[in-house]
Chains A and B, each alone.
Chain A
């Protein structure tokens, strides 16, 4: 259900009825889907005239909400109640949107499987034997369950786009800095981006219009672009030039579907050409991502030491207290990442590991920029296949050198806007297609995505 349909329902039945129904369904599905860490039990009616006024939404549980439990799905923060509002939450509140709940994520937004949160596994609401991936697992599930027309996530590698794709909804990662990160619990600051999930590109554009803009609390936030994305999505896309990267598409399990999408693009008047990228470089995406993100996260989460934040363990010296608190507080997976991050930053390793990873990142971005010199956008399948069965998940995440499973990270490397929209279904499960444009071309990204989204939906209905 999209924003407009929610609005209609609210007009017919009243806000209270609609909110209560969403709460009811959310609670009912906690058992099999587990989308939420916190479901709100009350709301404040807003007199705002914005497009999302009194519309319920879900917020990933790593956005700071004053007075409302914010756990980042980690035992370390299981009782943490923030004292300040994130910019995103503040803007949504000011626009009158109604917080339905805080959604489950992979612990501290690391992981990408939806299975590592401290409150348990998140399942795909379409088929609960399947993964929804992560880390914005609960946000994707909430939108898919229809309890809210949009949800907010965060995307460091693919954390909004991948779960959106598995849930058959739209997931948008805008240009780095387009939306303030102030109050978003940092995973890897140079990659972290606030993302939006909804059932249509139009709704994504509406919410992005509300959230974007310069924030004096975030030095990396971009200056206002003074565009209203919602008004620009209908622009004619005729003549736009798209490219797909052959080395990535080679791995696609559903080539015939991707070919159908290309045909749709061409019907819209866009051209789609094949480009090539060094396979070795693409294979290094995963390693570079791991290295950089682990390095940053080990530092970003050093505040969770049991001194000010996190349960304080016993110990006879400050060092011991910090050591024991962190040992007891974090899951094994998180500790592994911290150790990795710490390892690559060590004096003797930094040059070879961390700095080399930064160099690879630069090379990939340079190469991608070259493509953007000639093309308006890059179009690629979002994932190799439909959402895997949960028991297969282990296998999938070990698929480290799959260039198709890791290409979404490129958008975070370069700060590019990237969106996934649902394309066709296979075995009753959705597949997604991704559009990525050069930095600051958020409007163009949404424009292409919207046109293609409408086109594909038209074809589906035929």
Chain B
């Protein structure tokens, strides 16, 4: 066994109206080569103009990652020739990025881990290339799309930790609203640095570039651990190199060694003055940060006694988590709200393929529905029915219960009659019960519920049943 050390570099496209240095529209999924300006294409004489919203979002994510925010941030040029880079250089940050020395708390299984963030910087995306047999096509819609690059310290030790981190990071970014961070649309891409060693010193670093899904990150890491372990077992040396992960055979292949590594000849971007960021602005952004998923999960488990699984499900989307929190703030049992969301609501949203903000039952209505149950006005069984009617007829729970005359039968006489009837009809079951088969009670209560068509209050029914059986 070897010590595995992993560092990640994550590229994430920011959600802004226009590109990071131009007025070109930031929407590269449109028809090819329609969303561009002369600046994106690097026409002679053009100059970059920094997008303020991209700056705000870069700072926002830096804050979410507990980073130190530079108050004098600078841009640099990274020079290399490739057809997807129209200017022949990429504007990025190498000396004074927006955020440095940050960290992100994550859950790895039941354990917590602090992942150290080296820096977060803002840069521009390249054009996208489609390769065909004997030609390639360029789409410049993506050229100049704002990109943040988040670089971790080499502090992750397994594929599980790497994936937990990526999932947490993706969630955090989504919570801030900086990006949808969808890797299936290429909005989030990852470079992996990995080294193995026998002792505490770091081994030789191998880099894997541009892995496009979390699943592939996991596969790539696991393949590399295996490959490198086998080499080390045989007493061979690991080459410092850049490798490419092939998702079809799930193996990595050498691209270039350290000696051939590109010298990007970084130097200060002369067209963008040093950007002074005032403390007040940073504070304003910090104050606008929402409560982040790590904290929410902790709170849901410790304060509301939810299971880790449910807590994780609830925080997956900020809007769902917000819905949960708002509903309980109106005065509902967290456990009940959680159950309603994780079973009925998420199922419904999924089936209808809609978002929670398009969902008819707003927090007030869910609160209303749950209150009806808690006040024993309707039964849980009835509540499910009411829920369906509400969505079908776009009416509030109260309106539905009124119109359809749905209510828990709290009339004791009526309920007593049903109980009597059930006792009468099930002498054998009662015998079994009296002979110690206590679970038969549930069956009998179930029968009461059935006869009442679900209108009976199960607690009351149980109460009456017990009274009769024990008399």
Contact = CB atoms under 8 A, between A and B. Distances in A.
Nearest to B140: A308
A217 B49 contact: yes
Given A295-B267, A303-B88, A308-B86, A82 B43 contact: yes
A82 B45 CA distance: 10
A309 B44 CA distance: 9
A196 interface: no
Interface in A173-194: 181-186, 188-190
A332 B86 CA distance: 24
Interface string A65-80: 0000010100001001
B273 A220 contact: yes
Given A220-B273, A299-B88, A64 B48 contact: no
Contacts of B267: 295-296, 299, 345, 350, 354
A63 interface: yes
B47 A305 contact: no
Interface stretch (B75-83, B304-312, B427-435): B75-83
Given A302-B88, A319-B81, A182 B273 contact: no
B137 to A, nearest CB: 13
A219 B273 CA distance: 7
Contacts of A49: none
B46 interface: yes
Given A190-B270, A217-B47, A219-B272, A308 B82 contact: no
Nearest to A302: B88
Interface in A153-199: 181-186, 188-190
B373 interface: no
B135 to A, nearest CB: 11
A304 B77 CA distance: 17
A181 B263 contact: no
Contacts of B86: 303, 307-308
Contacts of A350: 265, 267
Contact of B79 (A86, A186, A299): A299
Given A84-B38, A182-B47, A299 B81 contact: no
B41 interface: yes
B265 A342 contact: yes
Contacts of B87: 302-303
A346 interface: yes
Contact of B81 (A70, A217, A322, A345): A322
A61 B306 CA distance: 71
A239 interface: no
B365 interface: no
A296 B42 contact: no
Given A83-B43, A182-B46, A309-B42, 20 more contacts: A63-B45, A64-B44, A72-B44, A82-B43, A82-B45, A84-B38, A189-B270, A219-B47, A219-B49, A296-B267, A302-B87, A302-B88, A307-B83, A308-B42, A309-B44, A318-B83, A322-B81, A347-B263, A350-B267, A354-B267
Interface of A: 62-64, 70, 72, 77, 80, 82-84, 86, 181-186, 188-190, 216-220, 295-296, 298-299, 301-305, 307-309, 318-319, 322, 342, 345-347, 350, 354
13 contacts: A82-B43, A84-B46, A183-B45, A185-B44, A189-B271, A217-B49, A220-B47, A298-B79, A299-B265, A308-B41, A308-B86, A347-B263, A354-B267
